[in-house]
Structure 1
Amino acid sequence: MEIGTRYDPTNIEMKWYKKWLEKGYFTPKGSGPKYSIVIPPPNITGRIHMGHALNITIQDILSRYKRMQGFDVLWLPGEDHAGIATQTAVEKYIATQGKSRRDFTREEFLRIVWDWANKYREEIKKQIMSIGASVDWTRERFTLDEGLSKAVRKVFVELYKKGLIYKGKYIVNWCHRCGTVLSDEEVEYHEEEGALYYIKYPIKGEEDYLVIATTRPETMLGDTAVAVHPSDERYKNYVGKTAILPLVGRELPIIADNYVDPSFGTGALKVTPAHDPNDYLIGQRHNLPFVDIFDENIVINENGGKFKGLTASEARKAVIAELEAQGYLVKIEKIKHSVGHCYRCDTVVEPRLMDQWFVSMKPLAKRAIEAVENDEVRFIPERWKKVYLNWMYEIRDWCISRQLWWGHRIPVWQCQDCGHYNVSEDEPKVCEKCGSANLRQDEDVLDTWFSSALWPFSTMGWPEETEDLKRYYPTDVLVTGFDIIFFWVARMIMMGYEFMKEKPFSEVYIHQLVRDKYGRKMSKSLGNGIDPLEVIDEYGADPMRFTLAILAAQGRDLKLDVRFFDTYKKFANKIWNASRFVFMNLDDFEKMEIQKEHLKLSDKWILSRLQKTIKKVTEALDNYDFNIAAGEIYNFFWDELCDWYIEAVKNRLKSEDKKIVQNVLVYVLDMSLRLLHPFMPFLTEELWTKLPTAGESIVVAPWPKVAEEYVDETAEKRFEEIMALIRGVRNVRAEVNVPQSTKVDLFIKGMLNEEEQEYIRFLGNVSNIQFTESRPKLCATAYVSLNLEAYVSLGELIDVNAEVQRLKKKVEKLKADLEKFAKKLEDENFLKNAPEDIVEETKEKQRTFLEQINRIELIISDLEAQG
């Protein structure tokens, strides 16, 4: 049972992970109640970040907890091919060699990407392992592997045959840097400084004109109408007339449409159907022409006349200059407005009119809405249910085609002779309509989220009817971040009901966003990110996992300071040292049944407290309250087991009472390590396997159950009264500057048996205990209850008068500090604007200072009354 003198995670973590894999502990056995989770597949484009670490930690806590409860656990791992991100990364890589994608054939480029992808998949896998994830690597999947590719093609073909996939010319979001279309959910909107440009649009045949306000003057080159609101009296007489487009000369009908906001700008709207999604709808309603002025690089094309060849930003400057020169520019007004950016590269997104493939979403959304409304699929915390439903009620068709080479190529072959679309899971030889062999496959690939939407069932072998699919689908819980509720969660629910006729998971736990210590989002631009792999190198995986768990309060973002990792590494050290103490005191250990009649008060207390802790930790984990579960076991282990029980029994380990204490220690440590295991798997395995009662591995050890025979409310209450008395003695010492190492005499009013007196002598460093019926002189009150009072004798230890004066000055200072906290907490601006944790910290300081003032004033009162 010998262990090293200090906790060193580098010596134990990968050692145990390899052994767990060798033993096959993470591969389900197919017996017992099933519990399944699919991992949100990380992109293969880089290192995991702290959000991933939190996500993996939470899933691992659940998996290990359920495994110990006897469930047949499948936690299925895999990676996402990340179409745009991966292709962009590879293009950057080949650019360092002076080449571009166009220097290769599609097949040559894809070979390069596959080599790159396989390398980074292995990197991601190692990173997930380093966190301790108990996933079943024998079932690892990749969104582009053969099985998933088959599933994707089948889903596309079936949706197409049902009329739910179609190709059409619509306004889409175009990122010219990535060279592809984005879905609405892939566009991030940022508030930016901008301007409203007020421009005169002359009325044909009149000296009159309308003034139009626009934030994008360059797009006026594609205007095909001017619109006003039907009820806007200012423009009633203009409807039906014709405006002339400045710089271009195109005739524009003046139309009335309810979309127009009379309060924005001048209330008159330039309509550019090919470059704005709302204008596109106006164009459809009024049968307007569509004039596309940009090419795929967002450079003005031939429809832009003399501005052809200019980029959008260059065209804006040139158009403004020309408008000003010709007298059309009225004024420029500075504003802040929302601008769409690509979620991958942050380039400004341009709405463009393009032929693309779409999924009709409303028919798919109907069942997925009902499932969440009826709590067939439950969101935790519940507030995310409303977020999901609000989006689903207003769902729009999903643009699924991407202008990339890396991804699932769209399984559509167009006949070059008759134009018919041949949609098939396998490559057709001839056109199904005309028999021609002149077929050409669509160049585009599917949106990455299309394959991810099938993840819960495609990873288990669908469309084949596999044993995994029968046993482990639907899964039990999905753990993910709020930012992909629309990208992923909603689409998985829709596809699950459409193709499996069943929900993909029962519960969706939305975990916290990991922010920095100031509450800011972690980002490269701020340089405030914390690398989990660096944290593991410095502190160990277990302290990092425990830190994330204990901070993971439902519904609150997690504010992370690197100092927290040191705090919980100290906890890991505490666990190590406490276990080492137990091991060093197990000479001649004999396992025996712990019978209550043989137990002392401290034994009964710790055993009862352990049962309460087991109950609370279990309930917290069942309710996804990871912070509460972690806090309960932390407080029990550090405060109750280490600081009180172990200290209380040190003398007994040298007495004839030794065997009882040894058995209590082994039992409590055993159960404590099991409770800790889901949070700190490596450390607990290293220590648990050294216990004389250990089995083959803590990974498969049963989860602790409450032993009702050890619950003892009377013992708990009595021992906690003794603890409070001892704390009171320590507090008196601290306040009157008597070192804790100095023995003091104690006067007791009330009853204490010999065992209780021994605890007080040993833990309170008390020399003599005298029982008294009256309050002695020159004493300070340490503890008062209905049945028990304790007074520390100070007469020979201090100069009473001098000490009273010193304590009075200390109280004055504390009251001044207390007043500062009170003023802060009365300040509405502070309460409104200060971070929540700062407000709570201020309240806690106020409480602490108030308690200390009350304690000192009681000592002053004692000394003055008795001096």
Structure 2
Amino acid sequence: MSENTLAKNFDPHTIEAYWVPEWERRGYSKATIDPTRENFNIQLPPPNVTGTLHMGHAFNQTIMDSLARYHRMKGDNTLWVPGTDHAGIATQIVVERQLNAQKVSRHDLGREKFIERVWKWKEQSGNTITNQVRRLGTSIDWSREYFTMDEKMSRVVRDVFVHLYQQGLIYRGKRLVNWEPSLLTAVSDLEVISEEEDGFLWHINYPLINKSGHVTVATTRPETILGDVALMIHPEDQRYRHLIGQHVKLPLCTREIPIIADNYVDQKFGTGVVKVTPAHDFNDYDVGQRHNLTPINILTLDARINENAPIKYRGLDRFEARRQILADLKEQGLLNAVKPHKLMVPRSDRTGSIIEPMLTNQWFVAMTRPAPDDSFFPGKSIAETALDVVRHGNIKFVPENWTTTYYQWLENIEDWCISRQLWWGHQIPAWYDDVGNVYVAKTEAEAIKKASAAGYNNALKRDEDVLDTWFSSALIPFSSLGWPEKTPELSHFLPSSVLVTGFDIIFFWVARMVMMTTHLTSQIPFKTVYVHGLVRDSEGQKMSKSKGNTLDPIDIIDGVSLETLLAKRTTGLMNPKQAENIEKKTKKEFPNGIAPFGTDALRFTFASMATLGRSINFDLARCEGYRNFCNKLWNATRFVLMNCEGKECGISTHIDDCAHNGSLDFSRPDCWIVSLLHRLTADVTKNFDNYRFDNIASAIYKFVWDEYCDWYVELSKWQIQNGTPAQQRATRYTLLHVLETVLRLAHPIIPFITEALWQKVAPLAGCYPVNEEPGQASLMIQPYPIADLKKINTDDEAWMSGLKAAVDACRNLRGEMVLSPAQRVPLLVSGDIVFLKAIAPYLQTLAKLSEVQVFADESMLDSQAHGAPLAIVGVNRFALKVDVDLVAERERLTREVKRIEGEMVKCYAKLNNQSFITRAPVSVVEVEKQRLVDFKAVLTKLQEQLFRLLA
């Protein structure tokens, strides 16, 4: 083989730099639409255009690309649709922070100029993201790329909004929502992080109007006392039942409020009496609805006290007001007690501001109202339909336990607030006249026409709010395929085959896609939801900027210096002490930065960690192990090419059977590795179908490293050097055949190295189609291997297990005798003569022996090997013929006798345990019985050997 056939060392960067654009140039990822084939469609969860990809994206996309490549190789019509999300609130915050650094606000620019600024950022961030996605080796059809605010996608959003409004499923109303006071917008539950914090429980006295005393209320939010409309007790609380229907004077105010009873009250919390503030608490809002209580909002949108409160407090920030109110309560003798209390505080995950429940006018989608014109499950609400398609098995979750989470969300669903008080996003297609009448239309011209028909002919004002990002995201399963037009893509690829996503957005995205797709298209959006865990650091901590444990997937691929890594982790941190701690942590963990691992090693690591759990602890040590695997595969291929290139490999007359055939004579090791190959193929295929990527990675790793490289390649060296021409051809053929098949099996997980190696191996293995020239074909579009279960030969596998055990026994003897690898000594063996003679040549090579002498009976071996170190494997005995330290050998045999006796004690314990005998499968009990028989036989031989040494 010439030096130029395959580089000496595996260089992932060179391979990736060539194949990323080359695959795209050749158009392999473009979907076919062939009615005779199965269809496979997968949607890329669109990354937000807020910067760059993170480890979660890289993990998610590795799983999706593995599935896409697998199905494409199977011959399916395979479509992977890419896109990016405008991510309203997140992107607006990014751009506003950029402006703040220049001491400019969005209000200084005005809405139009600000939106132009965001579009410029979108171009920058979007291009960065798509380049990162390409670097991960994703086989995406980029010709179908969308952005959720492209005109085509925006038109679908407007059409759907108008349609749902006309059906009565979208309405505008004043309701309580999560309000972000620093951003002045409603936010979704997903954008609220509730964590336990230290706080207080203030006990406040409310005087009874009849002057018979007071009622003490425990609250964590004394500032909202100004908006109280009632006090509430449990109807069965004997302490307070006599107070139901009475009134109290609201402290610091002139109002009187009633005492009501409701089962919602926890009698054990605080004093057992709670205040009802419907305008500032979600649970209180529900209580107010049940008891017809009128909410009183006492906060402005920026969380200051408004005109509904006494003059003294108006204009104060909510926390300033808290301090003043507590001081006034104390002065009036109404502050009964202050107790430390742990409480859950809802904060914005974007800014850290405390979220305020706020009564505001918003747009909502009705979740539980019967949906008209819904043919999927006629007469049901969109939420009920979304529940039923899972209950009836139309959509399946993997793992199945996530269906419980899905059910819990939808069974307790509230109407969906879809409006946001932002500038960046899909502006709501609604216009108002001077008196507040609303005209919902797809265009302003349509709105003017509707207003004119209603008798209004003056100028209309458009609603300034934008839609929740999840509204447009919920339409992606069909909007990305050309809906409402009846496109070929829509008919072939809806529903998509599988959605790959994290458990944290089962409700916010998954459920909403199900609701929207079933209602608007009468189809399900996808057949399977594969739910994976979230990527955390090696200690199980969530990756975050504040913790300084984030990793950029591209840095792992390309490598990064310590200085650059420090800059990435500390830039933008406001707390100097925090930055100092992160710097110390980073220097300790990565003193030399991060070495380049390449894309394949990162992808293999992600696949190996894709267990069906809630979290994925990423450890660079695993990445290093899979980089070593890539090197191992590369070096094995170099060996195969060096021994096969320019040689007769039996390709023109090959047979895939382990038998003698004129020009090919397959050995037992040849047959064994082919048997394992078909077993591996069946295993990998099953696990692809079951989404067990961890099992796929493990199976491929073990086969390549443990079986092919460590055993078969070593055995092939003897066969190529010493076999007959027919045996040599068979071995070369097997080396090529197995390697080429493994490259196809592993390609979906590690596409770059397998493609590069396949380009070298395929011509020798005869794998190019007759109409293609070397260099013009690609592994990416080769057929995925199919297991032939008839080729799995348990006899060959058992034979090889015996050879392995014999080699291991000899190696252990060499180790115990401290023999150097260069020191070759004779081996004396007795037992199964036919087997021992068959393995002798391999045993001599692998165990580094000078010769193997096979004796017909044990006495002949004993006479030649008196005192020599002895190993017993089944019926076979192995002795190295060397000068022996008898004392040391007796000690070794004594230790081995004790070990075997210990194993026998364990067997007896199980077999004498009636519970084990009764409950364990019969096959397991039989295995244990056989183990005991085998241990007895070995013990007898060891004791005989020890007796001879003691004689």
Under a length normalisation based on structure 1, what TM-score does the superposition of the two structures give? 0.92
Within 5 Å, which residues of 2 pair with 1:287-298?
287-298=292-303
1:503 CA displacement: 0.3
Q: Deviations over 1:89-113 (max 9, x none)?
A: 0000011111001101211110000
1:41 is aligned to 2:123 = no
CA distance in 2, matches of 1:584, 1:409: 65
1:862 CA displacement: 7.4
1:794 CA displacement: 5.5
1:742 is aligned to 2:831 = no
Aligned residue type for 2:33: G
The residue that corresponds to 1:774 in the other structure is 858
Within 5 Å, which residues of 2 pair with 1:663-678?
663-678=733-748
Q: Deviations over 1:522-568 (max 9, x none)?
A: 22232223321111111000001001111212235322211111100
Rate the CA distance shift 1:667–1:294 in 2: closer, same or farther, 3 A. same
1:717 is aligned to 2:787 = no
The residue that corresponds to 1:567 in the other structure is 625
The residue that corresponds to 1:21 in the other structure is 24
The residue that corresponds to 1:429 in the other structure is 448
Within 5 Å, which residues of 2 pair with 1:107-122?
107-122=112-127
The residue that corresponds to 1:784 in the other structure is 873
Rate the CA distance shift 1:33–1:764 in 2: closer, same or farther, 3 A. same
Within 5 Å, which residues of 2 pair with 1:145-224?
145-224=150-229
1:337 is aligned to 2:418 = no
Q: Deviations over 1:39-92 (max 9, x none)?
A: 111111122222111110000110000000001100000011110100000000
Aligned residue type for 1:11: T
The residue that corresponds to 1:489 in the other structure is 510
Q: Which moved more, 1:63-72 or 1:269-278?
A: 269-278
1:358 is aligned to 2:364 = yes
CA distance in 2, matches of 1:697, 1:782: 50
1:466 CA displacement: 1.6
1:207 CA displacement: 4.5
1:83 is aligned to 2:83 = no
Residues 202 and 339 in structure 2, CA contact (< 8 A), matched pair in contact too: yes
CA distance in 1, matches of 2:898, 2:200: 58
CA distance in 1, matches of 2:292, 2:336: 30
Q: Which moved more, 1:369-378 or 1:713-722?
A: 713-722
Rate the CA distance shift 1:607–1:292 in 2: closer, same or farther, 3 A. same
The residue that corresponds to 1:835 in the other structure is none
The residue that corresponds to 1:543 in the other structure is 601
SS at 1:234 equivalent: coil
SS at 1:357 equivalent: strand
Q: CA RMSD in A?
A: 2.4
CA distance in 2, matches of 1:727, 1:29: 52
CA distance in 1, matches of 2:455, 2:191: 39
CA distance in 1, matches of 2:333, 2:941: 87
CA distance in 1, matches of 2:283, 2:816: 72
CA distance in 2, matches of 1:588, 1:121: 49
1:810 CA displacement: 12
SS at 1:484 equivalent: helix
1:808 CA displacement: 7.6
1:499 is aligned to 2:520 = yes
1:581 CA displacement: 0.7
CA distance in 2, matches of 1:366, 1:234: 42
CA distance in 2, matches of 1:392, 1:354: 24
Q: Deviations over 1:206-238 (max 9, x none)?
A: 141000000001111111221222222222222
Residues 688 and 694 in structure 1, CA contact (< 8 A), matched pair in contact too: no
Residues 897 and 943 in structure 2, CA contact (< 8 A), matched pair in contact too: no
1:811 CA displacement: 12
1:778 CA displacement: 2.0
Q: Which moved more, 1:578-587 or 1:482-491?
A: 578-587
**Which structure has more RCO (C-alpha within 8 Å, separation ≥ 6)?**
1
SS at 2:448 equivalent: coil
SS at 2:243 equivalent: coil
Aligned residue type for 1:646: V
Rate the CA distance shift 1:642–1:758 in 2: closer, same or farther, 3 A. same
The residue that corresponds to 1:628 in the other structure is 695
Residues 809 and 873 in structure 2, CA contact (< 8 A), matched pair in contact too: no
CA distance in 2, matches of 1:44, 1:220: 42
Aligned residue type for 1:410: I
1:324 CA displacement: 1.5
From 376, 389, 413, give the equivalent of 2:431: 413
The residue that corresponds to 1:650 in the other structure is 717
1:683 CA displacement: 0.4
Aligned residue type for 1:636: F
CA distance in 2, matches of 1:664, 1:463: 54
Residues 800 and 863 in structure 1, CA contact (< 8 A), matched pair in contact too: no
Residues 778 and 862 in structure 1, CA contact (< 8 A), matched pair in contact too: no
Rate the CA distance shift 1:746–1:560 in 2: closer, same or farther, 3 A. farther
Residues 228 and 276 in structure 2, CA contact (< 8 A), matched pair in contact too: yes
Rate the CA distance shift 1:289–1:8 in 2: closer, same or farther, 3 A. same
Residues 461 and 469 in structure 1, CA contact (< 8 A), matched pair in contact too: yes
1:557 is aligned to 2:615 = yes
Aligned residue type for 1:423: V
1:491 CA displacement: 0.4
Rate the CA distance shift 1:606–1:809 in 2: closer, same or farther, 3 A. closer
Q: Deviations over 1:291-338 (max 9, x none)?
A: 222112112223333122322222222222221222111111112122
Q: Deviations over 1:461-496 (max 9, x none)?
A: 112222211221111100000000001000001111
1:710 CA displacement: 3.2
Q: Deviations over 1:502-537 (max 9, x none)?
A: 000000000122222222222223222332111111
1:755 CA displacement: 4.2
Q: Which moved more, 1:589-598 or 1:398-407?
A: 589-598
CA distance in 2, matches of 1:708, 1:857: 38
SS at 1:302 equivalent: coil
Aligned residue type for 1:600: S
CA distance in 1, matches of 2:185, 2:217: 32
Rate the CA distance shift 1:858–1:320 in 2: closer, same or farther, 3 A. farther
CA distance in 2, matches of 1:104, 1:674: 56
CA distance in 1, matches of 2:71, 2:64: 11
Q: Which moved more, 1:720-729 or 1:743-752?
A: 743-752
CA distance in 2, matches of 1:272, 1:857: 81
Aligned residue type for 1:653: I
**Structure 1 residue runs without a partner (length 5+):** 817-852
Q: Which moved more, 1:760-769 or 1:428-437?
A: 428-437
CA distance in 2, matches of 1:364, 1:581: 61
CA distance in 2, matches of 1:791, 1:411: 86
How many residue pairs match? The answer is 827
**Structure 2 residue runs without a partner (length 5+):** 369-380, 559-595, 769-776, 903-934
Residues 621 and 629 in structure 1, CA contact (< 8 A), matched pair in contact too: yes
The residue that corresponds to 2:653 in the other structure is 593
CA distance in 1, matches of 2:806, 2:877: 7
1:795 CA displacement: 4.5
Within 5 Å, which residues of 2 pair with 1:797-816?
798-802=884-888, 804=890
The residue that corresponds to 1:764 in the other structure is 847
1:805 CA displacement: 5.0
SS at 1:644 equivalent: helix
CA distance in 2, matches of 1:507, 1:807: 58
Under a length normalisation based on structure 2, what TM-score does the superposition of the two structures give? 0.84
SS at 1:37 equivalent: strand
CA distance in 2, matches of 1:803, 1:789: 19
1:438 CA displacement: 2.1
1:782 CA displacement: 2.9
From 788, 805, 809, give the equivalent of 1:707: 788
Aligned residue type for 1:484: I
